[in-house]
Amino acid sequence: MTTIDRTPAHAPVDLGTEPTDARTVELVVLDMAGTTVTDGGLVERAFALAAERAGFAPEGDERDRAVQYVRDTMGQSKIEVFLALTGDTDQAARANAEFEGAYAELVATMGVEPIPGAAEAITRMRDAGASVVLTTGFAPATRDALLDALGWRDLADGALAPADAGRGRPAPDMALTALVRTAASSVRSMVVVGDTRSDMESGVNAGAGLVVGVLTGTHARAELEAAGADVVIESIADLPDLLGLGE
């Protein structure tokens, strides 16, 4: 088991806070798109295709507001996002199905890439004794398509979508499901990591011992800190050193 000091002297990152307590890390819950996987604008492109195919494509200022809402709610369950935009359960379900299809098409044609150092960081943390679970706001089929495209099926201890847990972010369900499935002893032994406000809120709502924001995705440092990040780092590649996991 690995014990961490949350103020490592060698870390080249701005911790943002001055926490002094040390704790044992048993579980690291990592968001996918924007945190461990480069997004490259695929979510917004898939949203535009889905809106058009589902028959509610907004125009002008309404379109700008819709795209901004998609950006603001990155990390949340996509069907909940479409429900907020359409106000209609059936249309939201159609739009979500179209989104999943469009995203899969874009992944197949354009490909996806890991955040530099992500796979190595995950392996290093697992080798040090921590469980690592990936989470996403996508449906299970899209999650699996991403894992297959990256060759990551066996990289982590598990990968969860909202459908696997109950509710999507910012609810704590996926983080808590990861805790139960990995048999971690306490929420205080869990670290939740992501690039969006909803990732941070989910970690806070789950009572995670440490909530970490990364700057490789959607939201800026100030937004992550305002949403509850204890620490903000440049990249997932910096996480093992922050946590003191591995050499």
Say if residue 31 is in the same domain as residue 147: yes
Give the span between the Cα atoms of 210 and 36, in whole angstroms: 18
Q: Are residues 129 and 170 in the same domain?
A: yes
> Same structural domain for residues 136 and 209?
yes
Q: How confident is the model at residue 181 (pLDDT cuts 50, 70, 90)?
A: very high
Q: Are residues 63 and 171 in the same domain?
A: no
201 plus 98 within the same structural domain? no
Q: Describe the crossing of helices 89-110 and 78-86 by its angle, rounded to 10 degrees.
A: 130
Same structural domain for residues 12 and 67? no
Q: Are residues 233 and 198 in the same domain?
A: yes
Q: Is 156 in a helix, a strand, or coil?
A: coil
pLDDT given at position 158: 96
Overall number of domains in the chain: 2
CATH number at residue 60: 1.10.150
Q: Which domain holds residue 206?
A: 2-38+113-243
Domain end, chosen from 93, 110, 127, is at 110
- The tokens for 218 are 């959607």
Read off the tokens for 20.
């002094």
The backbone torsions φ and ψ at residue 192, rounded to the nearest 5 degrees and listed phi first, read -110, 130
Are 62 and 181 found together in one domain?
A: no
pLDDT in tens, 16-27: 333 323 358 999
Q: Is 9 left (phi over 0), alpha (psi -120 to 50) or beta?
A: alpha
Q: Tell me the pLDDT tens digit for each residue of 66-90.
A: 778 877 777 777 788 888 888 888 8
Last residue of a domain, one of 110, 141, 165: 110
CA distance 246 to 183: 21
- Of 89, 110, 131, the residue at which a domain comes to its end is 110
Q: Are residues 135 and 106 in the same domain?
A: no
> pLDDT-derived band of residue 134, with 50, 70 and 90 as boundaries?
very high
Count, residues in the chain: 247
Q: Which residue has the tokens 């910012």?
A: 170
d(CA 19, CA 12): 16
Torsion of CA 151, 154, 157, 163, to 10 degrees: 60
Residue 203: which CATH number?
Answer: 3.40.50.1000
Residue 192 CA, distance from chain mean position: 9
Lowest mean pLDDT among 17-26, 95-104, 142-151: 17-26
d(CA 215, CA 234): 5
Eight-class DSSP state of 240: H
DSSP string, 43-88: HHHHHHHHHHHHT----HHHHHHHHHHHHHTTTB-HHHHHHHHH--
Distance CA 169, CA 74 (A): 9
